Amino acid sequence: SNNAAFIVAPRARTRGVDFQGRAFLHDYDWQQDADNSLLTLIMTAPMVVTNWINLQYYASVCDNHVYGSGNKVLHNVVDGCIGVFEGNGGDLRIGLPMQSLHNGEKWMHEPLRLSVYIDAPQKTIAQVVAENDVVRHLIDNEWLYCFSWAPDGRIHRYFNNQWLESA
């Protein structure tokens, strides 16, 4: 897989697949979720948090000087939790330190947008998106990519209130 993925599907669909540490898996069966409450919970809580984590790595790798926090050894915490100074001053640093991103020889995280694959009817996914602004904004502003993953393997991307055929 060359994606940072969040997969919402029965575990059997991904069993045996090596995601190389790039996937968050949620065991989900839409047929056991008649009122869509579980899918709504997954898309509004863990999916959003996973995206926050992914974007923090994304930004910290793309520009560690601006969005990362430099050398962890030199950190001084500011006001308990709002950020750190690297050393005794300078700009407030809010991202991840180099030690979380780089092993001294190479980057350990490839900056990728989160791709969310959901095994559920398209109308169900679209309804959850329509009813939850936080999810709709993440998808429509392309902070993450949302896909339906049909049982036959077909994948369609949801974007701007429509389903697009994926290559």
Cα torsion at 51, 55, 58, 60 (round to 10°)? -140
Give the 3-state secondary structure of 50-77: HHHHHHHHHHHHHCHHHHCCCCHHHEEE
pLDDT in tens, the chain (167 residues): 356 899 999 999 999 999 888 899 999 999 999 999 999 999 999 999 999 999 999 999 999 888 888 888 888 888 877 888 888 878 888 889 989 898 989 988 888 899 999 999 999 999 999 999 999 999 999 999 999 999 999 999 999 999 998 65
Reading the block at residue 32, the tokens are 């056991």
